């Protein structure tokens, strides 16, 4: 049996924290931490950079979950470039992106 791996983005973490705050629903966040510890919940490093722009509970939590945030590999960057070359309208060229592309 294989274990699923989950990739999460900034908006999901922000929404989860808004609707299930860490101090009110600690069990939800402990479950996420167990997934991080097992290497089954990951996010791009840019997600950490976006979250880290605030000084709130989510930022403090993210700083304790550094293992979760991964640098893009050269292969991932290559694949994203190929996708964007085929589908340039996926992003707005005038917008500054962090994690979204």
Q: Is residue 52 part of a domain?
A: yes
pLDDT at 18 over 90: yes
54 lies in which domain range? 6-71
Confidence of residue 34 (pLDDT cuts 50, 70, 90): very high
Chain segment 57-101, per-residue pLDDT in tens? 999 999 999 999 999 999 998 998 999 899 988 887 777 655 555
Q: Is residue 56 part of a domain?
A: yes
Confirm if 41 and 68 have CB atoms less than 8 A apart. Answer: yes
- Coil/strand/helix, residue 42: strand
Domain count, the chain: 1
Q: By C-alpha distance, which of 57, 60, 65 is closest to 17?
A: 57
CB atoms within 10 A of CB 19: 10
Q: Is residue 37 part of a domain?
A: yes
pTM listed for this prediction: 0.81
């Amino acid at each position: 049996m294989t274990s699923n791996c989950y990739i999460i983005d900034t908006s999901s973490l922000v929404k989860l924290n808004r609707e299930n705050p860490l101090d009110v629903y600690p069990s939800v966040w402990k479950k996420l931490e167990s997934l991080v510890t097992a290497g089954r919940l990951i996010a791009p490093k840019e997600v950490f950079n976006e979250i880290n722009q605030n000084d709130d509970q989510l930022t403090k939590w993210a700083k304790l979950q550094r293992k979760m945030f991964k640098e893009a590999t050269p292969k991932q960057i290559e694949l994203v470039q190929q996708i964007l070359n085929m589908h340039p309208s996926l992003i707005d060229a005038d917008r500054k992106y962090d994690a979204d592309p």
